[in-house]
Structure 1
């Protein structure tokens, strides 16, 4: 625990590395770069200049963005600026791969997003797709007069009044094979209701939320943010905390983008059955067959690149299902066009969910394609990179919109840390003085155990990958101090009672520790249950408090009972004439 806690004594520093682009030489004295940053009120710790590069260590990590912008503005194209985060811990400590405690949003500063997932819209789209699937099956089997109409978000009606007698036996088995969770009920003669049960609807919503959470975590990983917290909040919302992020626009562009990608065949008959009309980037209205060939959910990987002529493209790799669909389609449609449709959801001024579709690419299928092919004719390389990022991270099946966004400055986080440490210092100091004054020699044992308890708690927080320290977590640390001391108070008062009953000192100590343990265990178990419930149903700051509370119970049990008993045994090796103010 000591080794795990030591990295918290050292801070992370941002280093900016300036590499000369070779276009022209500029003055390269440390004072020159220090003056540039001083004009922007950005303090530095160190500036090292060599023939190849200049390394600037910033005093505050939050100044990274502003420092980079100031240097690029002043130096123009003379230097390339890259940044890196390094810890000041010595090499021997880094050899243990120990890391400092991860700080939450309220301590390190950053951005908070709350997203709303429209599961009802996703279910309505699914019902719509089932209706199109039914119509497509009817066309393939040359069944006429099949009337399909959505009833609500989870049901549709099928009217076979004017269809052939074989229609029911042909259509429904294929639909139930593809959608086994769908129930078919006969409403009237030749009229049927296809619907999802309440249980199937609940399962669909849960699966949609899980898929959206997975997609959002993938996008955050693509942004390179490793300390993010992404969790479900309420019924259909997702809470995303991005500690240390000081450019909310960059994060919002990726996280807030609810992009989906689908591939369609251009319709030969613009007024045909199931045809949809979508505009391309040039404003032209194109007609597409209503059924998509495959969607972005079938994409395994997407990498931006350039073709032989230097034009931007995105290389796609599909999964087995998507590859099979693409293979079957391209084999039958060589020489025919295929459109790539990019869709996004957003809320208007009236808080209504709207969907925009645009065709980003129309290409002619030149050959039989498989699970790997490219999207070309993109406007820029940046567009290709952003599209590849979104597709790698996953295509959303449900519309997602940002309903809350809040930025916390790093300076506020530093103030929270300072105030929290002051509160912890005052609480610990008063506790140490009280224990030393009231219990004398055994009070010193309790104080040593308390110090070891805090050390163990910090070590555990640093060691566990999912543990994040928040401002309420610091409050949990102060509470843990009281709980740890409470353990020793129970033991020492029990020892005092045994001494008053006439027991010898060593026997009273042994009896005190043994008999108080049951009471201490019961009290800590009930508190642990509360902490587990808080962690299970809470989010954000509540979760941070619960983590500290639960870990503090474990460490205080260990140090307050076992460690303090060992220390007491070392301090009191023989029967004393007086202990805790009671003569034996």
Structure 2
């Protein structure tokens, strides 16, 4: 029989609408002003910290809406308004000191029962939600110093391999490397051997049987460019680890990088992760000499003293076995005794290096040195923060067998520190330290204005379409209007469900556009039905032929729009991609509501009935 839907189609339609409505619902609850409390490295927020925070705020008569200890080892304290939030941040920063990072935040006020099914509000872009804007500067002096050290190690290693004796290989103040020999003949032999192997170095003969190796201008320029580009790639990886949708990470000038994080939920963690320059160095432990002898000046050319967290000294050989640059993946877990550990995976070159070293040094000790650069609190002549290198031995292990591409690091204090270390290593070690020279938190005031204007545009666009449909198509206009409302609900629901979808001003434009396209589909269907009625078809045949005949036109129009959206997504960035995603979702939902949704209502009202006239 014409125009009859089976029961399963109605149930499917009701199910889709209910799911869309359920996942769109969190967007109505808004957000609470909050303070995010995240522990610095080696410190994790606990229930004790939670009690301390509550006591401090209670003594200052600051009312808390809620305070919870989250899974990631951070505290989220909610307040009723922003004035109380700002006051609480000042009080907590003074009470907790440097062990914790206190950051302002906006936390979704979604009820717990919606959170349990994964229903969260839409992620909003920087123009709507606000967020964090960082301007970062690459420390080129440290990058060039690292390159100088690599050149020094390379020359020293090659001379030893060739068996050419030397007195000293050291860095000089001009960024080059100076090598001294016992006589001029040995120096000439060394220069003849090294020159063809280092085309990017210029060897200049000096007095007292020495030469100076300096990098060419082209090599220095390439190194600076490499440092910035690699840092951009690593920052992008770290942003991905934070799970931020539609971030902006781009170069500005010669040595600066702009990072914008829209709608970031944990600004404290973002600042700590993005600015961290943590990496690992694997070094041999020198057990043949004690720390005091090295500190007094013995064996300083080959060994140096580093310290554990408890302050105990460890003598390490200066030569680095392997750096964190070769780490391709890292995860945190617990060992067989429940203690935190970090599992390391190396690339092929790193795996071969580790394998060759451990094969020849079974039974000896190898240390894992954690290296990071932190703000010293001092400023240079230009007013920029001076970074301070901090090193800590986090693990000393006895090599019991030959290691390959995968191994683990133990001796870490807590699970939170293990998770953070694994995240930093997985995202990559920065080629050179970076410092945040400008930080701006974009407030929600402009965003709220944009949201209001965007919603008004959607509302009036929808109202004009509804009025038009009601006047021209009467009952079928009511059906089309219901489809438009359901279409908007489904768009919001799908946008809320997709983890990578972010709503920005161009995204709102995409929603307005799809509302118009949904009206267009209903106009095609209704006009086709009216045309069939004029041609003498019965009511049932007119409805059937109307939907059937309009389907191909609707499909072609929406398919070309989807192709355009796919191209925009492929070649666009940021807001352009957001527009493409919203447009694609809107096209699909509008086809569903215009073809399946309206047909279901029409079939329910007119299907299988003897009707002589349609309200159209």
Where on the TM-score scale, by shorter chain, does this alignment land: which range?
0.5 to 0.7
Write the distance in 2 (CA, Å) between the matches of 1:8 and 1:117.
39
Write the distance in 1 (CA, Å) between the matches of 2:494 and 2:549.
29
Check the 8 A contact 1:531/1:549 in 2, yes or no.
yes
Task: Report whether the alignment pairs 1:512 with 2:534.
Answer: no
1:411-490 to structure 2, matched below 5 A, reads 411-490=445-524
> Which residue of 2 is the match for residue 241 of structure 1?
261
Task: Report whether the alignment pairs 1:568 with 2:602.
Answer: yes
2:261 counterpart SS class = strand
Write the distance in 2 (CA, Å) between the matches of 1:551 and 1:22.
42
Go from structure 1 to structure 2 and tell me whether the alpha carbon gap of 1:330 and 1:391 turns closer, same or farther (over 3 Å shift).
farther
Go from structure 1 to structure 2 and tell me whether the alpha carbon gap of 1:465 and 1:511 turns closer, same or farther (over 3 Å shift).
same
Go from structure 1 to structure 2 and tell me whether the alpha carbon gap of 1:278 and 1:10 turns closer, same or farther (over 3 Å shift).
same
Tell me the alpha carbon deviations over residues 296-354 of structure 1, each in whole angstroms, 9 at most, x when there is no partner: 23564799xxxxxxxxxx987655648657746976987x99987656899x9999x99
Write the distance in 1 (CA, Å) between the matches of 2:381 and 2:95.
44
Query: Structure 1 residue 111: deviation in Å?
Result: 0.6
Write the distance in 2 (CA, Å) between the matches of 1:448 and 1:363.
63
> Which residue of 1 is the match for residue 321 of structure 2?
293
Task: Report whether the alignment pairs 1:503 with 2:537.
Answer: yes
1:11-410 to structure 2, matched below 5 A, reads 11-13=30-32, 36-37=61-62, 58-60=79-81, 64=85, 66-70=87-91, 87-89=109-111, 91=113, 93-94=114-115, 96-113=117-134, 129=150, 133=154, 136-142=157-163, 211-218=234-241, 220=242, 226-227=243-244, 229-230=246-247, 239-244=259-264, 251-262=270-281, 292-297=320-325, 300=330, 319=345, 321=351, 324=355, 327=358, 342=372, 358=389, 360=391, 372=409, 390=424, 394-397=428-431, 406-410=440-444
Query: Structure 1 residue 405: deviation in Å?
Result: 5.0
1:543 counterpart SS class = helix
1:503 counterpart SS class = coil
Task: Report whether the alignment pairs 1:522 with 2:556.
Answer: yes
Write the distance in 2 (CA, Å) between the matches of 1:366 and 1:488.
71
> Which residue of 2 is the match for residue 557 of structure 1?
591
Check the 8 A contact 2:234/2:427 in 1, yes or no.
no
Write the distance in 1 (CA, Å) between the matches of 2:229 and 2:123.
30
Aligned residues: 495
Match of 1:3 among 19, 22, 25: 22
Go from structure 1 to structure 2 and tell me whether the alpha carbon gap of 1:493 and 1:143 turns closer, same or farther (over 3 Å shift).
farther
RMSD: 6.3
Write the distance in 2 (CA, Å) between the matches of 1:577 and 1:354.
83
Tell me the alpha carbon deviations over residues 110-141 of structure 1, each in whole angstroms, 9 at most, x when there is no partner: 2134668899x989978995895476245224
Write the distance in 1 (CA, Å) between the matches of 2:556 and 2:440.
41
Write the distance in 2 (CA, Å) between the matches of 1:448 and 1:356.
61
Query: Structure 1 residue 487: deviation in Å?
Result: 0.8
Check the 8 A contact 1:496/1:580 in 2, yes or no.
no
1:293 counterpart SS class = strand
Go from structure 1 to structure 2 and tell me whether the alpha carbon gap of 1:450 and 1:107 turns closer, same or farther (over 3 Å shift).
same
TM-score if structure 2 supplies the norm length? 0.59
Query: Structure 1 residue 556: deviation in Å?
Result: 0.4
Q: Which runs of 5+ in 1 are unaligned?
A: 39-43, 48-54, 148-160, 176-181, 183-194, 197-201, 221-225, 281-287, 304-313, 377-381
Check the 8 A contact 1:7/1:99 in 2, yes or no.
yes
Moved more, 497-506 or 58-67: 58-67
1:412 counterpart SS class = helix
Go from structure 1 to structure 2 and tell me whether the alpha carbon gap of 1:124 and 1:228 turns closer, same or farther (over 3 Å shift).
farther
Which structure ranks higher in relative contact order (CA pairs < 8 Å, sequence separation ≥ 6)?
2
TM-score if structure 1 supplies the norm length? 0.62
Check the 8 A contact 2:107/2:265 in 1, yes or no.
no
Write the distance in 2 (CA, Å) between the matches of 1:298 and 1:541.
34
Check the 8 A contact 1:278/1:359 in 2, yes or no.
no
Q: Which runs of 5+ in 2 are unaligned?
A: 1-19, 38-45, 68-75, 170-186, 200-217, 220-224, 308-315, 334-339, 402-407
> Which residue of 1 is the match for residue 215 of structure 2?
none
2:570 counterpart SS class = helix
Write the distance in 2 (CA, Å) between the matches of 1:487 and 1:8.
28
